Amino acid sequence: MLGNTTLFEFLGSGRLVAGHRPWPRYLLDERAWRELINQLAVSDWTLLGLWADGSEVHAAFRDEDTADIAVASLATQDRRFPSLAGVRPSAIRLERAIHDLFGLFADGSADTRPWLDHGRWPISAPLAIVRGIPSRAPVVYPFLPVEGESLHQIPVGPVHAGVIEPGHFRFTCAGETVVRLEERLGYAHKGIEGLMAGKTLAEGARLAGRISGDSTVAYAIAFARAAEAATATELPPRIHWVRALLAELERVANHILDLGAICNDAAFSFMLAQSTVLREKVLRANELCFGHRLLMDKVIPGGVTADVTREGASILRGLVKELRKRVRRMGVLYDDMPSLQDRTVGTGVVQASLAHRFGAGGFVGRAASQGGDARKVPGYPPYDDLDFEIPVHPEGDVNARIWVRIEEIQASLGLIEQILEKMPGGPLTKPIPTRGGEGMALVEGFRGDILLWLRLSEVGRVVRCHPRDPSWFQWPLLEAAIEGNIVADFPLCNKSFNCSYSGVDL
């Protein structure tokens, strides 16, 4: 069976599950799941997500040769399933999260420590079918051991000196050099997956828009697209165009702020002052055109709640023109600062092979030769009608991640112009039929591809919703990127990754 098999050929041996859109889902038995693990060892199939649903586990893959996407499912026996972590290290944390939330145990994983459950929940495995296993008492979390002479540990967080999200970083250092960094997250756990169950589509969309606040548009689009896929709803074209416009505005605002924030971590605050002003211009234009600075709740299942008026379009055209000039100037300023480049070039290098193994998207992947972008592959409307480039750099360092952002801002500004020019007319909403089904969506947020999987009941309520933030596959790379760097460069690397805490803590 091993060899040149495509994803579809391989999964075809399983049972095709009806009503899963737009990509097929196959139910495998345990033997086939084990074969899948063997096949993964020799195939270039990227793990897109791994989540549980009752006593089932689902794994989404993308075949990098054929660009096919499919979901493989396994009904677990005795709450155990064979682990994918041996062949896909990106599965490690996802499997730990599955264990904490659903009580399903990944057999054969090298890391079986808890992830989201810090021993402070009233119950353990809150989403399992049979709950009521008493939660373990708060225990000392066993960090990975590091041995050697003159090594010392620096614990950082979860509460930081700045107003940022909570996360614990355990550094083991030899002098100033980092020997190992281990992240411990989960402090921002809000029970999103539990809250989603039983919600109507409207309530679910609101909640999805709050999973990670800076990506509210991308998450709302992901939820809406998954809901539309599950109910097989075809939308009038204008909706897609308005959504894309909102998504690109969000991307531009976030990238601009990142640009200044990274430079500020090298104590060059001029860039931050500049970028805050530019971001504010985007947010004010958002407020003027759509009625919300961060564009929350503008995308709903079956449509959008805001339209682009003629005045709005001219405001946005003016904004694009100004941003294009000023972002270019910021790029020149950055390029002309040897003291800044000295900090960013060669710092926090992510190997391209590692980025590929983890399927890292967004600026983290693109700065390490990975060209993946959900707007191109698998692609979704209206991006097939638009002309844009995905910037890719090979170096993998902080500098490359800055340049990917600068180029992406310019690409997004180009997209906004094209969208304003070509946008078709038509209605802005379409009622979603009340019916059951399973839907999945891949949407490109500013950090990378967001996967959202949804199962709806016959009365149109959410049964199970799993959002997979791009940061799941970027956080582990940060641990690798900092190795051999000095402790004082960590904030710079961390800011250049700008991973979401809230998005992965769920």
Strand 437-444 with 449-456, pairing: antiparallel
Angstrom distance (rounded) from CA 400 to CA 406? 10
Contact mark string toward other proteins, 176..215, x via CB under 8 A: x---------------------------------------
Q: Are 369 and 354 in contact (CB under 8 A)?
A: no
Residue 278 is a binding residue for other proteins (CB under 8 A): no
Closest to 271 measured CA to CA, from 205, 326, 349, 191 = 326
Angstrom distance (rounded) from CA 214 to CA 181? 26
Contact stretch for other proteins (CB under 8 A) within 3-11, 59-67, 131-139, 272-280: 272-280
Give DSSP secondary structure letters for 43-57. Answer: S-EEEEEEEEETTEE
Q: Are 432 and 227 in contact (CB under 8 A)?
A: yes
Alpha-carbon distances of 386 from 244, 376, 381, 421, rounded to whole Å: 10, 10, 9, 11
Residue 486 is a binding residue for other proteins (CB under 8 A): yes
Residue 273 is a binding residue for other proteins (CB under 8 A): yes
- Encoded tokens for 8: 């579809």
Give 189 or 343: the residue with its C-beta nearer to other proteins.
343
Angstrom distance (rounded) from CA 227 to CA 300? 10
Residue 483 is a binding residue for other proteins (CB under 8 A): no
Q: How far is the CB of 206 from other proteins (least distance, A)?
A: 32
Alpha-carbon distances of 188 from 14, 72, 504, rounded to whole Å: 38, 29, 9
Looking at 38, 66, 153, 309, which residue binds other proteins (CB under 8 A)? 153
Residue 491 is a binding residue for other proteins (CB under 8 A): yes
Looking at 17, 37, 146, 156, which residue binds other proteins (CB under 8 A)? 156
Residue 151 is a binding residue for other proteins (CB under 8 A): no
Alpha-carbon distances of 187 from 112, 159, 368, rounded to whole Å: 19, 10, 29
Residue 337 is a binding residue for other proteins (CB under 8 A): yes
Contact stretch for other proteins (CB under 8 A) within 91-99, 271-279, 404-412, 471-479: 271-279
Give DSSP secondary structure letters for 464-490. Answer: EEEEE-GGGGTHHHHHHHHTTSBGGGH
Residue 219 is a binding residue for other proteins (CB under 8 A): no
Give 64 or 165: the residue with its C-beta nearer to other proteins.
165
Q: How far is the CB of 339 from other proteins (least distance, A)?
A: 4
Contacts of 438 (CB under 8 A, 6+ apart): 17, 19, 20, 21, 25, 230, 453, 454, 455, 456
Angstrom distance (rounded) from CA 502 to CA 116? 12
Angstrom distance (rounded) from CA 417 to CA 437? 36
- Encoded tokens for 486: 């000095």
Q: How far is the CB of 222 from other proteins (least distance, A)?
A: 32
Looking at 183, 228, 438, 489, which residue binds other proteins (CB under 8 A)? 489
Show contacts with other proteins in window 394-453 (CB under 8 A). none
Residue 161 is a binding residue for other proteins (CB under 8 A): yes
Contact mark string toward other proteins, 46..75, x via CB under 8 A: ------------------------------
Residue 390 is a binding residue for other proteins (CB under 8 A): no
Give 201 or 499: the residue with its C-beta nearer to other proteins.
499
Closest to 242 measured CA to CA, from 299, 288, 314, 165 = 299
Residue 152 is a binding residue for other proteins (CB under 8 A): yes
Looking at 9, 107, 311, 342, which residue binds other proteins (CB under 8 A)? 342
Give 152 or 190: the residue with its C-beta nearer to other proteins.
152
Q: How far is the CB of 153 from other proteins (least distance, A)?
A: 7
Residue 162 is a binding residue for other proteins (CB under 8 A): yes
Residue 159 is a binding residue for other proteins (CB under 8 A): no
- Sign of dihedral through CA atoms 208, 210, 211, 214? positive
Angstrom distance (rounded) from CA 460 to CA 187? 32
Contact stretch for other proteins (CB under 8 A) within 16-24, 42-50, 322-330, 484-492: 484-492
Residue 313 is a binding residue for other proteins (CB under 8 A): no
Rg (alpha carbons) of the chain, rounded to whole number? 22
Contact mark string toward other proteins, 84..103, x via CB under 8 A: --------------------
Show contacts with other proteins in window 240-269 (CB under 8 A). 263, 265-269
Looking at 160, 184, 317, 376, which residue binds other proteins (CB under 8 A)? 160
Per-residue burial over 281-318, b if 16 or more Cβ lie within 10 Å, else e, is: bbbebbeebbebebbebbbbbbbbebebeeebbebbee
Looking at 274, 286, 410, 412, which residue binds other proteins (CB under 8 A)? 274
Residue 150 is a binding residue for other proteins (CB under 8 A): no
Q: Are 278 and 331 in contact (CB under 8 A)?
A: no
Per-residue burial over 209-247, b if 16 or more Cβ lie within 10 Å, else e, is: bebbebbbbbbbbbbbbbbbbbbebebebbbbbbbbbbb
**What are the residues binding other proteins (CB under 8 A)?**
152-156, 160-162, 176, 263, 265-270, 272-274, 277, 337, 339-340, 342-343, 486-491
